[in-house]
A = this chain, B = another copy of it.
Amino acid sequence: MILFWTRGYAGTSLKDIEAALDMRPGSIYAAFGSKEKLFRSALTLYAERSRTALSETLSEAASPLEGLADHVRKLGRALAAPTQTKACMLMKTMLESSDNERVLRDAAEDMMRQTEAAFRDAFQAARDAGQIPADRDPVRLASRLQSEVLGLRAYAQRSDAPGRIEDLSEDIARDLEALATCFR
């Protein structure tokens, strides 16, 4: 999965996959069917893990809004560590897929919408709990947060990012919390 994540769909050759899985082409095709199917399962795995991480952070937090802020701060800490790739795999897939790979694009979009729906539910819960003003639209807040996270992760890909990422994620988290404080 990490291979596809870092190099993308078209950028990963079967040679790379053979080496990573220590399998020969025949076995790979017997097990996964095609490069595209293998990529899609990698994409699904990525999305599931992301969703799990988010829901765990949300459930551990004292409130939905703090949960979202925690999520952003955790992300910032993760992105400050040196890893192969930082940017969101769904975003990378969406950006690299052309028309003849529309299936992948659509799949990535769908999964991204699921994440955004989780954000929306959290904002909705925060509003129901009176933590944020009633005139705030959870859908709009969710797309804003989605966009901020995409931006943060894309920015993190820059080689000079490590020193700025924690400030960035802290700013985003503070803005989330400010939704509550401006209401008191």
Contact assessment for B171 and A140 in the assembled complex, using a CB-CB cutoff below 8 Å: yes
How near does chain B come to A160, taking the closest CB pair, in angstroms? 7
* A11:B98 contact, CB within 8 angstroms: yes
Q: Does A155 sit at the interface, judged by CB under 8 A?
A: yes
A63 beta carbon closer than 8 Å to chain B: no
Q: Are B168 and A144 in contact (CB under 8 A)?
A: yes
The distance from the CB of A113 to the nearest CB of chain B, in whole angstroms, is 8
Digitize A128-160: 1 where CB-to-B-CB distance is under 8 Å, 0 elsewhere: 000000000000100110111111101101111
6 A-B pairs with CB atoms under 8 Å apart are A7-B98, A11-B98, A94-B154, A109-B158, A113-B160, A147-B155
CA distance A3 to B106 in the complex (A): 21
- Extra contacts, 13 of them, besides A7-B98, A113-B160, A147-B154 (Cβ < 8 A), are A6-B98, A8-B95, A8-B96, A11-B98, A87-B95, A91-B95, A95-B96, A105-B159, A109-B160, A143-B155, A147-B168, A150-B154, A175-B175
Tell me the A98-126 residues at the B interface (CB within 8 Å): 98, 105-106, 109, 112-113
